Structure 1
Amino acid sequence: MVDTLPAYFCIFAQTTDRLMQETYIQDKTFDRSDVPAQGEYESCIFNSCNFADGDLSGFKFSECTFNNCNFSMAKLNNTVFQDVTFNGCKMLGLRFDTCDKFGLSFAFADCLLNHTSFYGLKIKKTIFGNSQLQGADFSETDLTDAIFDNCDLAQATFDRSVLERADFRTAFHYSIDPEINRIKKARFSVAGLPGLLGKYGINVSF
């Protein structure tokens, strides 16, 4: 019995190593594919892939780029996004607040992010470019130094959010209460003043 133990552990270790190798994918391009196998993806590119209603729980994506992909209503429980870029993606109703919080970082360009939740996340310096964020939830979110470039924030929720030094100069349709949000040194355009004064019933003319 004693002699068989080393052999058993050797087989177990080899099997474990093989499984780990099978779930780690690097520098690969996926074109028009559905949800790939659960695992770790590093420096991969996903083009026109369909993740809608899929389960990405436990997946890890680092330094990946998603182009024109559909993520709408996908499950993101403990999903890892580190230095990830989304370009032209449809991302309706996502719960980013359920992602793995460690190292969470991403950027968005030309994306549909309506009714997504970023509740309670620390996503400093995040760039939202030319994207729709209608009805998005930024409650208690740390958006220090974030940039909202030409973004539609209609009915987006900012409640006890940290918006210090955030750039809203080209954003529109937002409503932010200065009394319940931290906006020190945040940047706004003159055209955006109604979004800051709405609760006071003040009419601003230009």
Structure 2
Amino acid sequence: MSKDYIEGQEYTNENFTEKRLPRAEYENCTFTGCTFSNSDLSGIEFLTCQFENCDLSMARLKGTAFKEVTFRGCKLFGLRFDDCTRFLLSFRFENCLLNFSSFYSLKLKKIRFTDCRLEEVDFVEADLTGAAFLNCDLNRAVFRSTILEGADFRSAYNFSIDPEANRIGKARFALHSVAGLLDKYNISIE
């Protein structure tokens, strides 16, 4: 059964918790101020789409495809991005709330997070080579067996990364945040 193909549509202030977004392939579509919280987005494909000021908190993403998708000013609490289709998975986040979300084991080379809250986010076993965390709050985010080579943490804060449990070669950190690399030693830096 083939999916519908929808191109260039703009959706504004729609509530997809009451009526489900039709399962289709959406290309170059813009979603502004839409509510998807607790909705089922499984099996939907988004290609070069924009989500602006939307709430996708706790949406189901089983087999959802995000290819070159941008999220701006969105609430994305508790999303399981690790349930998405991994083929050509790529997105960027600007001024988003991603607390309690999971990127477990995903390949997200050069992903950009700008001005985002990423509290208690799961990055375990993810490949974040060349990722940028620009002015992001990483309070209690989990990095374990994560590839962070060449990643930019210079303006990130509240992170705790164990250099012995992650690959951090050529990653960049600001001097004032180096304590986040030494947390496991339970030492005081003054």
Q: TM-score with structure 2 length normalisation? A: 0.96
Is the Cα contact below 8 Å between 1:193 and 1:204 reproduced in 2? no
Rg larger in structure? 1
Q: Does 1:64 align with 2:49?
A: yes
| Residues 158-200 of structure 1: CA deviation (Å, up to 9, x unaligned) | 0000000000000000000000100000000011111001111
Distance 2:15 2:47 in 1: 19
Distance 1:125 1:41 in 2: 24
Q: Give how far 1:34 is off.
A: 2.6
Distance 1:88 1:62 in 2: 19
Distance 2:38 2:182 in 1: 38
**What is the aligned partner in structure 1 of residue 140 from structure 2?**
155
Higher relative helix content: 1
The code of the aligned residue for 2:8 comes to D
Q: TM-score with structure 1 length normalisation? A: 0.88
The code of the aligned residue for 2:69 comes to V
Distance 1:163 1:34 in 2: 37
Q: Kindly report the root-mean-square deviation, in angstroms, between the aligned alpha carbons of the 2 structures.
A: 1.0
Distance 1:105 1:151 in 2: 19
**What is the aligned partner in structure 1 of residue 70 from structure 2?**
85
The code of the aligned residue for 1:159 comes to R
Distance 1:67 1:128 in 2: 15
| Residues 135-154 of structure 1: CA deviation (Å, up to 9, x unaligned) | 00000000000000000000
Is the Cα contact below 8 Å between 1:106 and 1:126 reproduced in 2? yes
1:83 is paired with a residue whose SS is strand
Structure 1 vs Structure 2: percent identity of aligned residues? 50
Distance 2:44 2:9 in 1: 16
Which ranges of structure 1 fall in alignment gaps of 5 or more residues? 1-15
**What is the aligned partner in structure 2 of residue 4 from structure 1?**
none
Q: Which has the higher contact order (CA 8 A, sep 6+)?
A: 2
Poorly superposed stretches of 4+, deviation over 6 Å: none
Q: Give how far 1:202 is off.
A: 2.4
The code of the aligned residue for 2:127 comes to D
Distance 2:164 2:30 in 1: 42
**What is the aligned partner in structure 1 of residue 88 from structure 2?**
103
**What is the aligned partner in structure 1 of residue 79 from structure 2?**
94
